[in-house]
Amino acid sequence: MKILCNRENLIQGVQVVLRAVSAKTTLPILSGILIKTEVDRLYLTATDLELGIDCSIPVQVIEHGSLVVPARIFSEIVKKLPDTKIELNTNNQNNILTVNYSPSQTTINCMDSEEFPVIPALEENHNISIKSSIFKSMVKQVAFSAATDENRPIFTGVLVIIENDIFKTVATDTHRLAYRNTTLEADTNMNWQAVVPAKALVEVSRLIQDDDEMIDIIFAENQINFKFGNISLLSRLIEGQFPNYKQVIPTSCKTKIRVLTKALLDATERASLVAREGSNVIKLKVQENALIITSDSADLGKVYEEVQVELQGEEAQISFNSRYLVDVLKVIDCEEIVIELTGSLSPGIIRPVDANNYLYLILPIRTN
């Protein structure tokens, strides 16, 4: 293989696929990036067998070929190259890559591309398209509620549901639950659902560079593929039965308060400074048109916050994990929210005032 390429394009391609390189593996080939030429492009691919990322960049191909480069050293070399035309030249007989940046050069010992695992191409007969900005918003508002404990794999994923022209996402770590839906631009005539690793959705969201572009999502029995721009990300689906989220969402409430999102966020963050030194608990008391937030620590002291609200229904008291409340208040893109309560031991529900496509459920904490 012999190609000429632009330094910035090469850096971009390497940084994209580096996200899928296996950090800890017993298979040396998974610590590398497959580079191969096709027509007038260089394709870079990395995988940890759960997640695979493919990125292509424009190059001038003088001679076609392929090789697996060690990801870490290659990425460090690429980042430190001078701003000049780069030549990549491989000797497939001894698996050596020569990086020429006139008048200098670096050689890297590589691996045979034949050993690299094949990333399958999914048939595009089950797919949808969604605007990048909407997708990023959905991931931001839902994925943080997924669990990080790998001992319960099903809760580390996001339930993705396609019902004709409705796209739904749900995540829960059993202490809280986030739900978001959107209407697609075209009716898919599909009824499909699966659990997608939250980390895969987050990676797609991070890799999106143009909020106006469309993401093509291709579904298969045990895999899902996201395609946008010059990037393709393939992820395995999580096996298992996702809990029936509808059963835990209350259908009525006794207390409903309307409050400014930022005012509540600021007050909760201040209360959490003391709460996190103890059990992370903050207490909420709704009375007349005020929401009183308190927290205390034997070592640090106490916090008392009062936020103005509009109250409908009964006065109420409830305790929450402050972090769970802060997390959702940071991702709601709405000036005001509604909080619905049914009792001190029942889940609280948070919704944006000006949208009915988002819901967040948070379980209370029992206190004396």
User: What residue spans define the domains of the chain?
Assistant: 2-115, 129-216+234-245, 249-362
> What is the per-residue pLDDT for 278?
64
How many CA atoms, within 13 angstroms, populate the side-chain half-sphere of residue 189? 1
Distance CA 180, CA 169 (A): 5
Spatial strand order of the sheet with 51-58 comes to: 66-70, 32-38, 41-47, 51-58, 231-236, 223-228, 214-219, 127-131
Q: Give the C-alpha distances (Å, rounded to integers) separating 52 from 33, 108, 173, 286, 318.
A: 11, 23, 25, 49, 44
Note the pLDDT of residue 299.
82
Which tokens hold the place of 351? Answer: 């919704």
The CA distances from residue 77 to 232, 337, 342, in Å, are 24, 49, 59
CATH class of the domain at 129-216+234-245: alpha beta
User: Is 98 in contact with 105 (CB distance < 8 Å)?
Assistant: yes
pLDDT string in tens for the chain (368-residue length):
999 999 999 999 999 999 999 888 889 999 999 999 999 999 999 999 999 999 999 999 999 999 999 999 999 999 999 999 999 998 767 899 999 998 899 999 999 999 999 888 887 778 899 999 999 999 999 999 999 988 899 999 999 999 999 999 999 999 999 999 999 988 878 889 999 999 999 999 999 988 789 999 999 889 999 999 999 999 999 999 999 999 999 999 999 999 999 999 999 999 999 887 667 899 999 998 999 999 988 788 999 999 999 999 999 999 999 999 999 999 999 999 999 999 999 999 999 998 899 999 999 998 86
End-to-end CA distance of the chain: 71
Residue identified by tokens 């400014």 is 260
Evaluate whether 129-216+234-245 and 249-362 have a shared fold. Answer: yes
Q: What is the pLDDT of residue 23?
A: 81
Report cis status (omega within 30 of 0) of the bond before 103.
yes
pLDDT tens profile 209-252: 887 899 999 998 899 999 999 999 999 999 999 999 999 999 99
Question: Do residues 361 and 342 lie in contact, with contact meaning Cβ atoms separated by under 8 Å?
Answer: no
pLDDT for 359:
97
Phi-psi sector, 350: left (phi>0), alpha (psi -120 to 50), beta = beta
Q: Which two tokens stand for residue 113?
A: 């591309």
CATH 3.10.150.10 fits 249-362, yes or no: yes
Q: Which superfamily does CATH assign the domain made up of 2-115 to? A: DNA Polymerase III, subunit A, domain 2 (3.10.150.10)
